[in-house]
Structure 1
């Protein structure tokens, strides 16, 4: 049997995605307005092929453990990182990944902790796929470290480097977990797998650091460093294992933000055994120093403490612990027991020193020789996406417009629309409203028409009637109001459905929380996790309420002017009957009145020209807005520095300059129109006073003037209502899209929460069924960390004889799960791990072998 006493991390299994390329192409066809699907087809198929090469084919596939797989996984990780700049985070492809330790083939220990294969968790999230691949990179690094031959300096250095790279990849994963920006609806974040959550990853990272430090400790033993230095290194090994054990316990318990994860009992027990073992190693090594310095009480106390730790470790290791670890443990226990018996005998007969209690033993200052090391290809993957030497290949899906560019374009479109609505359209409408209000107050042009044309229907009224008829008349208003009521009801039902689903899910969460108790039901409350969705629903509901009030105003206006508009619809004869005729025989116009009327008519015509020019200005602005395109400049800037990302702020100067070029001409003309209108209205008011002073007042003329004014106002109100109804229909169309998206997001959220709750209940049930006994380790002597002082020069190596050797019992050899290989041509070319181990042991004809243990005098 090979002496394997280190663990490989479990590989994370996945299922093949045979339709991945087709799904990407379909997404490009449906979502991209700038890229033809054919332009992305070749890259999409290359990405699918790269996934299959790196992760395997079939169900529950895992990567092979070799250097070629590391390259493939790194290349796929880099391509996924680049794809994030081209594809949305919530990608319409569900990536399936099995939880860690949930498939027998992925276990680092053949412990049988999981008798059945857990189903994969599939999320439509590029970050989920990317971080799962990053985890597998760490697992392959750790597996390679476990399989290194640690019989020589080169193998030991390679093993330490592999474990440090594994810890570095997991540290990077932890950093990226914190940096992830989840969608506001939090649909995917609520079911983020517990095996990729912080407590689980921290436990596995600390395991990798512990094993790297253990190999470094082994090297110190082989180099025959002083016992005090070896003790410091051993204590740091114990601390790393203890940290991993505590993190694993935290993963099993869950946190306020993560669901419990069933960390295997065998792995937790292994970590506890290792922590106790190396605590004993540290105390034993330090006891040798105490003996040499005649500190017999300290030596005796440390040997007693080491013996206690080893007895506890042996008790824990009765099941689920690899035989090599138990062998190391028992070997050390025998050595400590023999030395404790000797020390007790010598002390009783010769030294008569009181054993120092563990609570007052001088602390051992631990020393760290390892740290997480992130491979540069993982730290900055985009800089390695090139086809030159050392590169990972050209980036795939480069034909797609970068997501950052799309976001900037969306921002640009929003700004243009806001500018058009607020600065041009609204300003023009305000100027028109001021003009209309002024003329209505002066009863113009009705008063002028009544004087200048006392009989029949004035031509201005007929022109307005024709304008109303050309727009569809009163029938169009009625049809549009009916459409507005219909789409408003559709929006109301969509929002009501979303609110009902949220209320239903909240009630279910409250019921389960009451059933299991808040201490055990650790999922986030619905009131917290669903807050963004509820807030969005409330926001859209307030929009709907405001729009409903506007609709009521339009209906009230329609009711007020319906009869006059019906007369407009009826034609010239009906209009003539509705307008009283003045008494032309008694009408006499004074010379000042004639001049004032003539000048008023000229000013009204000029005002109408100003309004027409303003309308043309608004239409010109509407045409210019879609033509103001910054896409070319954005793509040019992005291509100049594809790896840099300053966010949307980096494009702000460009957008400001383009907006200035677009807005200045129209705003300048609008200001001139405003100034000209004010001058005209001032002149109209002055002439109107002269006109009124010289006008003769007749009852028939006043009635005709009032009737003409009603028709003038009805014309204005018709087009106001028409504009409001058009805007209302557009508003409801936009709102229905938002309400539909909200309803769909709520459905996804509720489904995800129910799935998460079901899984959590299953986890609680499994915990109750297993009812594991708590794993405890005797309290260690409090230690403080400090940097290891420079060790003295290595003593001259000599091999101790078996009769005089004291053994730590930890040979620094390796333990690994059998990593399953998927059926492929690569299997035949790659020897199995067991075969590799046998070959390694057989080839170690000279020098130290892990199977021999660590022995020194």
Structure 2
């Protein structure tokens, strides 16, 4: 049965294996076993099927949809948005409702289910018995709930969806639907006022606000690519209808208050509004047309009476249109989101209306993110702020020793023949570690990691470059005015930024790798000697002539040896400190504290999604535990400075005591080279360990980058395919129109004998061809052009010249100019 209201249809979908996707994700990304959640995995598909099978306007469907919405919002705190399943949803309105949109996106699923909940509210309002006051109240409440649900999608869901919504779910389309629901809710209150015989002034204010909401809906719809022209005509007809109704009621208020001149003016304006509404008659249903005609009949009768009475009795001058006061508005509706949607998560729990929350014992995804963030910060603090400084102190200490030719000069004096014991022990350490093989193997491992990281990174870059090339080709093919989606660098700006950052890391790491390789080449020959036999060392270290150890030399050597022993103890203590610090960081498990904090947040803020940023205070508290280690760096540096000062002083005394002695110079130099080679080996091992750790950590980031590129490029390609199909359809329509024009031209070029037709009497002239109902909004701005005046030679909807159309006449849709039913959208009126 036809109605003067609209109901919003459901979006359609079909079943997906959500449980398997969640199970796979838990098994690969979490430390918990999927078997722990067997009941939840079974129930999640049942809940979804219950929700998507709501197909009738029955109140029982509201709770089924609300429960699934609450569970989806709760899961948003447990899982990432791209859970691993493509949710297919078919558009509810628009022009291409047979092709689904697929997105691997939990927020997309949530937005669609909420859309269906809003549609259900609108259908319940449509189906409610409107012959009673209680029925009208229920209809108004359902309309308000529908508008509030659309508002919730716009403000709370779409901004965090991270992907482009379908055409019939973009912000401007949802705004149009929201305004439609508010208009129909306000209309219910208008009907209640009439049933209760409220004052004409009150009814006029309610009607004026109904008119406003309908034109708001029309304004938004004209900017949408999905709202049909039939609906836009409906909005405009209702806007004019209620503008007329408001003026009609206000005229009766004027009559009651003896304002006869204003009464006549408002009735005239009411009649004008009705006639403007009837211009939409061709595209709207018979019920709406009947309402307009009924109102027009009443207004005509009242206008005749008012003009007669005023002309004969009251003799008041009708108020000019420009002086009519704008009507006041009484608003009875607002886009209020139902509490069961806003507070849905708080209704989950044992014994609560929406049942037990699913995957309750699964650690929230944000906790895993927070643990990773804390580990990165902790390792960065420990390594860059403490260990790097300690190793820098040790490196500077070794540089000082090398510049002083220590300990080589002392070893050459203390043991002029054979090999010093400390050198033998260092050489033995390198032999046991197979130093050369260890370095080469580490370099090969690092190269493999680097190559793998680079290949994964280049895969992601290739996705971006291919998508950008496809988008550029399509934009060049269709033009920027038709290819309206944002370019790749804008739509995927975050991925391009990540790509640049990763390229910077890789370039910096390549420079470091080159430095390590250069250091190895420069010291390889010394390492070969150190890892050889003792005989190789003896051949490299020459013996020196016997030096007479005077008391002064012996005393200076003893003092210098004491200082060198202090240096050795300092290095050993520092090495142990670094090892202890690494162990401290390794055993620093923030997991239990994060779980405790997450439980507190879920308990105190049940409706709030847990985000990693909520653990910042906990991070700061935990990282304070490393503050004493940072403060100890100052003491460590001061102690080293004191030891170095004593070492320099002792070395100066030692050199002074040995002034003039050149017998140990060659031996001293050889021992120093070997000692430096040992130190360089330690540096190389440390550098290679750092590089290996860097590339292992980088693998996580480049893999995530590649996967994000693949997913978002896939979404962009689906979006491009849909847009291209739509443009191809438009091109086919233009092709058909051009073919029609060619046929008409060929008819016009036929032999003149076929065109020499005697003029028909005016009453027999053919009417102009009526255009079909528009089926698509124009692409630019979404506003249909107003009908242009008839061309020269066309009058009253007829074609002169024997009824033959020629190209210079243009195409004329519908009847004569300014006749009811002409195409185009007139400017809105405010009563």
**TM-score between the two structures when normalised by the length of structure 1:** 0.81
Q: 1:29 to 1:503 in 2, by over 3 A?
A: closer
Q: Match for residue 622 of structure 1? A: 582
- Kept in 2, the 8 Å contact 1:98–1:120? The answer is yes
Q: 1:348 offset after TM fit, Å?
A: 6.7
Q: Match for residue 750 of structure 1? A: 713
Q: 1:30 to 1:500 in 2, by over 3 A?
A: closer
Asked whether 1:41 is paired with 2:38, we answer yes
Q: 1:632 to 1:476 in 2, by over 3 A?
A: closer
Q: 1:202 offset after TM fit, Å?
A: 0.7
Q: 1:504 to 1:634 in 2, by over 3 A?
A: closer
Per-residue CA deviation, residues 261-302 of structure 1 (Å, 9 max, x unaligned), is: x22222222212211211121122223334445545544443
Asked whether 1:143 is paired with 2:116, we answer no
Distance in structure 1 (CA, Å) of the matches to 2:371 and 2:399: 40
Q: 1:739 offset after TM fit, Å?
A: 2.2
1:23-422 aligned within 5 A: 23-33=21-31, 35-56=32-53, 62-101=54-93, 114=95, 117-177=97-157, 179-180=159-160, 188-189=162-163, 191-252=164-225, 262-293=226-257, 295-319=259-283, 321-343=284-306, 356-388=319-351, 391-422=353-384
1:562 aligns with one of 524, 543, 548: 524
1:781-800 aligned within 5 A: 781-782=829-830
1:423-442 aligned within 5 A: 423-442=385-404
Q: 1:530 to 1:641 in 2, by over 3 A?
A: closer
Distance in structure 2 (CA, Å) of the matches to 1:477 and 1:386: 58
State how many pairs are aligned. 742
Q: 1:476 offset after TM fit, Å?
A: 3.1
Q: 1:777 to 1:296 in 2, by over 3 A?
A: farther
- Kept in 1, the 8 Å contact 2:133–2:195? The answer is no
User: What secondary structure does 1:318 align onto?
Assistant: helix
- Kept in 2, the 8 Å contact 1:592–1:690? The answer is no
User: What secondary structure does 2:88 align onto?
Assistant: strand
Distance in structure 1 (CA, Å) of the matches to 2:116 and 2:229: 22
Distance in structure 1 (CA, Å) of the matches to 2:488 and 2:316: 64
Distance in structure 1 (CA, Å) of the matches to 2:614 and 2:355: 28
Q: Match for residue 4 of structure 2? A: 5
Q: 1:247 offset after TM fit, Å?
A: 0.9
- Kept in 2, the 8 Å contact 1:464–1:715? The answer is yes
Q: 1:603 offset after TM fit, Å?
A: 3.2
Q: 1:436 offset after TM fit, Å?
A: 0.8
Q: 1:172 offset after TM fit, Å?
A: 1.6
User: What secondary structure does 1:97 align onto?
Assistant: strand
Distance in structure 1 (CA, Å) of the matches to 2:228 and 2:105: 27
Q: 1:199 to 1:93 in 2, by over 3 A?
A: same
Distance in structure 2 (CA, Å) of the matches to 1:771 and 1:39: 52
Distance in structure 2 (CA, Å) of the matches to 1:399 and 1:267: 48
Per-residue CA deviation, residues 14-72 of structure 1 (Å, 9 max, x unaligned), is: 2112x211221221111112x2212222122222211111222xxxxx54322221111
- Kept in 2, the 8 Å contact 1:477–1:721? The answer is yes
Q: 1:161 offset after TM fit, Å?
A: 1.1
Q: Match for residue 631 of structure 1? A: 591
Distance in structure 1 (CA, Å) of the matches to 2:729 and 2:191: 39
Q: 1:752 offset after TM fit, Å?
A: 2.1
In the alignment, structure 2 segments of 5+ residues that lack a partner are 734-774, 778-783, 786-822
Q: Match for residue 475 of structure 1? A: 437
Distance in structure 2 (CA, Å) of the matches to 1:334 and 1:13: 43
- Kept in 1, the 8 Å contact 2:265–2:320? The answer is yes
User: What secondary structure does 1:570 align onto?
Assistant: coil
Moved more, 632-641 or 715-724: 632-641
Q: 1:417 to 1:244 in 2, by over 3 A?
A: same
Q: 1:708 offset after TM fit, Å?
A: 1.0
Distance in structure 1 (CA, Å) of the matches to 2:228 and 2:177: 12
Distance in structure 2 (CA, Å) of the matches to 1:285 and 1:306: 9
- Kept in 1, the 8 Å contact 2:176–2:218? The answer is yes
Q: Match for residue 741 of structure 1? A: 704
- Kept in 1, the 8 Å contact 2:434–2:531? The answer is no
Distance in structure 2 (CA, Å) of the matches to 1:179 and 1:457: 74
Q: 1:523 to 1:748 in 2, by over 3 A?
A: same
2:679 aligns with one of 700, 713, 716: 716
Q: 1:121 offset after TM fit, Å?
A: 1.4
Q: 1:338 to 1:668 in 2, by over 3 A?
A: closer
Q: Match for residue 531 of structure 1? A: 493
- Kept in 2, the 8 Å contact 1:358–1:781? The answer is no
Q: 1:663 offset after TM fit, Å?
A: 5.0
User: What secondary structure does 2:598 align onto?
Assistant: helix
Distance in structure 2 (CA, Å) of the matches to 1:767 and 1:341: 50
- Kept in 2, the 8 Å contact 1:312–1:777? The answer is no
- Kept in 2, the 8 Å contact 1:283–1:302? The answer is yes
Distance in structure 2 (CA, Å) of the matches to 1:771 and 1:86: 42
Distance in structure 1 (CA, Å) of the matches to 2:599 and 2:694: 37
Per-residue CA deviation, residues 193-240 of structure 1 (Å, 9 max, x unaligned), is: 232221111111111110011010001111112222211111111110
- Kept in 2, the 8 Å contact 1:79–1:396? The answer is yes
Q: Match for residue 598 of structure 1? A: 558
Distance in structure 1 (CA, Å) of the matches to 2:599 and 2:635: 42
1:749-828 aligned within 5 A: 749-766=712-729, 769=733, 770=775, 776-782=824-830
**TM-score between the two structures when normalised by the length of structure 2:** 0.84
Moved more, 333-342 or 406-415: 333-342
In the alignment, structure 1 segments of 5+ residues that lack a partner are 57-61, 103-113, 183-187, 253-261, 784-857
Per-residue CA deviation, residues 361-418 of structure 1 (Å, 9 max, x unaligned), is: 33212221122222211122222113336x2212111111123433332232223212
Distance in structure 1 (CA, Å) of the matches to 2:363 and 2:55: 32
Q: 1:501 to 1:697 in 2, by over 3 A?
A: farther
Q: 1:213 to 1:594 in 2, by over 3 A?
A: same
Q: Match for residue 18 of structure 2? A: 20
